[in-house]
Amino acid sequence: MLRLILAEDSVLLRAGLTEVLSRSGHEVVAAVGDAEALVRAVAAERPDVVVTDVRMPPDFRDEGLRAALELRAADPSLPVLVLSQYVATAYAARLFGGRAGRTGGTAAPGGLGYLLKDRVGEVDEFLDALQRVAGGQTVLDPEVIRVLLNHRPADHPLGRLTPREREVLALMAEGLNNQAVAARLFVTEAAVVKHASSIFMKLELDPAEGNRRVLAVLAHLRGSAG
């Protein structure tokens, strides 16, 4: 069971998420509608994970994201899952700015996630992402990855990749292992290993595994976010 704080200005969505999380065995210790209330609730409750919208009152711009960044600055171990209505590459870059490429260290920072709100409708996927973030992993919505891959400078190193390698890279950035990538693409695991090796060679990345691999990939995806 996870103890969560939920920040969402839409009353209906907030109630729906609370119901989904409660039915799944988690405890929503606070459900708030603005960024200031989120910061206060985290200080009072010390949750296992925070789930927050990006745009919140009073200006409906990036209040939720700024609150998430403030909370992470105060406690880098706090897992945060950000929900967004749209693919906003600048928001994703800011959220993962201090996380991308950080593959070592003695005290690993807490998990981070960025999902589109449409993903919440896929309850199992949403709950899986939540558990992964709570467990210290990095989770990016597949659509966010697609936009980051497509909106890059012409001279970006990603331009060296073949179309198939870009598909493999996108799935790797979601946190999938070689076996899961092979299943998604209907290819052999050996083929994925070959593509992954080529990707890391072309991007001059350490051939890491697991969450370290996701963070290494993010270091390059950030470079394509304007």
pLDDT in tens, 107-144: 467 899 989 988 788 899 899 999 999 998 888 888 87
Instruction: Answer for the pair 114, 129: CB distance below 8 angstroms, yes or no.
Output: no
Task: Reply yes or no on whether the pLDDT at 101 is more than 50.
Answer: no
Give me the CATH topology for the region 144-224: Arc Repressor Mutant, subunit A (1.10.10)
What is the homologous superfamily of the domain 3-139 according to CATH?
A: Response regulator (3.40.50.2300)
User: For the ranges 39-53, 125-139, 163-177, which has the lowest average pLDDT?
Assistant: 163-177
The H-assigned helical ranges of the chain are 11-23, 35-45, 63-74, 89-96, 123-134, 142-150, 163-173, 178-185, 189-203, 210-221
pLDDT tens across 69-100, in order? 999 989 999 999 999 888 776 777 777 765 54
What is the spatial distance between Cα 179 and Cα 82, in angstroms, rounded to a whole number? 27
pLDDT-derived band at 102 (thresholds 50, 70, 90) equals very low
Kindly report the pTM of this predicted structure. 0.79
Task: Reply yes or no on whether the pLDDT at 48 is more than 80.
Answer: yes
Tell me if residue 116 falls in helix, strand or coil: strand
**To the nearest whole percent, how much of the chain has pLDDT over 70?**
81
What is the spatial distance between Cα 136 and Cα 189, in angstroms, rounded to a whole number? 26
Range(s) within the chain of domains with CATH label 3.40.50.2300: 3-139
Q: Let me know if 121 is exposed, middle or buried by CB neighbors in 10 A (0-12, 13-18, 19+).
A: exposed
Range(s) within the chain of domains with CATH label 1.10.10.10: 144-224
